[in-house]
């Protein structure tokens, strides 16, 4: 059985691994960072990389839910 791999699949795999590595490293840095501002920047980077992964699998609805949760959290946090 011969499996043909075209250039699109290779590029898709490369971008998947790049965004996955960025997501894992930024998630670790959110918890490890002692500066709160740096932690927030790493969290934003994590959300962006996870959103790119969702776009790659064609789940745009999950991206909407992710950012809706982020916005609702910010609104709820600012009300108190």
The answer to whether 56 touches 11, Cβ cutoff 8 Å, is: no
Report helix, strand or coil for 73.
Answer: helix
Supply the pLDDT for residue 3: 65
Is the separation of the CB atoms in 46 and 29 below 8 Å? no
Say if CB 18 and CB 49 are below 8 A apart.
Answer: no
Residue 61 CA from chain centroid, whole number: 14
Q: Which two tokens stand for residue 56?
A: 């790659």
Q: Mean pLDDT by 10-residue block, N- to C-terminus, for the chain (80 residues)?
A: 70 90 95 91 90 81 74 66
């Amino acid at each position: 059985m011969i499996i043909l791999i075209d250039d699109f699949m290779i590029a898709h795999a490369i971008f998947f691994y790049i965004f996955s590595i960025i997501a894992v490293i930024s998630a670790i840095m959110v918890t490890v960072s002692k500066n709160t501002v740096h932690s927030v920047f790493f969290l934003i980077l994590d959300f962006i990389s996870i959103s790119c992964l969702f776009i790659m699998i064609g789940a745009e609805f999950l991206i909407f839910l992710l950012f809706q949760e982020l916005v609702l959290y910010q609104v709820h946090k600012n009300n108190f």
